[in-house]
Amino acid sequence: MSKESGVPTFRDAFGLWNSHEVDEVASRKAWDDQQSRTALLNFHAERWHEVRRAEPNAAHRAIANLEEKFDVLNITQNFDDLLERAGCSNVWHLHGDILTGKCEWHVSAGCLYDNRNYTCDYRTLLQEPVKLGDQCPKCGGQMRPDVVWFGECVDMKPELVKELVSKTEVFVAVGTSAQVQPAAGLLTKFVPAPKKYYIDPRPPRRPRSFTRLKGTAGYYVPVLAKELLAGC
């Protein structure tokens, strides 16, 4: 979704994981190793600047336009704020928000690490990327990006997803690699939706009940949005 705004992807042919080691820059293991924290924070600082420079593209704006006639929920694996800046009012960030920081002792998705008691609830919008030595003003802990790393939990809210599946009339998957769980499981969970679309230059063959629109988000999301609004 955000690639056409200049925000690099992670898993495509030119994605970030082709030039960076996940365990060194985006894992709980790297954060817990004091010697690797600098590399991890530098990596996230680059992502912070990329998002700040980016602007919403035609796909983000088209989704915002759907709110004229539809109750729209955006479930995104992206950690940028381009949907919100385009005008979307309901965005669920599964993997967090790169522009926000939180205390390292913040409880995330009800998960505890190493059986320690994570109790601080401090988080804030960042005016600059997190760096070593940035302390939580509430408890003095080290601040960190408010994103979900490998080895951490994603709060999928199963009861909410179950409710959404029962109510959803149109489900649109855009640009996901469908390789990262638990988010990839949403594709099969929403199979009962009457209308289902998958927009991607290389959409997977399954689930077979999806209408596949083979192309970029910037092209097909506006086309689909216009079609859906015209059918109201």
> Which domains are present in the chain?
3-230 (3.40.50.1220)
> What is residue 118's predicted lDDT score, i.e. its pLDDT?
63
Report the pLDDT value the prediction gives residue 144, as an integer from 0 to 100.
Answer: 95
Instruction: Report which residue type is found at 55.
Output: E
The residue among 133, 132, 134, 102 whose CA lies nearest residue 120 is 102
Q: Quick one: pLDDT at residue 96?
A: 92
Residue 15 tokens, joined: 């994605």
pLDDT for the residue numbered 161:
93
* Residue 21: per-residue pLDDT: 65
- The mean pLDDT values, 10 residues at a time, for the chain of 232 residues are 84 51 79 89 94 97 97 95 98 94 77 59 95 95 92 84 95 80 83 95 82 95 97 82
DSSP for the chain reads: --GGGT---SSSTT-GGGTS-HHHHSBHHHHHSGGGHHHHHHHHHHHHHHHHH----HHHHHHHHGGGTS---EEES--S-HHHHHT-S-EEETTEEEEEEEETTB-BTTB-STT----B--EEE-SS---TTPBPTTT-PBEEEEEPPBTS-----HHHHHHHHHH-SEEEEES--S-STTGGGHHHHTTTSSEEEEEESS--S-STTSEEEES-HHHHHHHHHHHHHHT-
User: Is-catalytic flag, 95?
Assistant: yes
Q: What is the pLDDT of residue 119?
A: 78
Active-site residue (options: 44, 60, 93, 95): 95
Which pLDDT score, from 0 to 100, does residue 214 have? 94
- Tokens coding 43: 């990596």
* pLDDT in the model for residue 11: 53
The number of C-alpha atoms within 13 Å of 171 and in the hemisphere containing its C-beta is 21
pLDDT for position 80: 96
Bridge partners (DSSP) of residue 218 are none
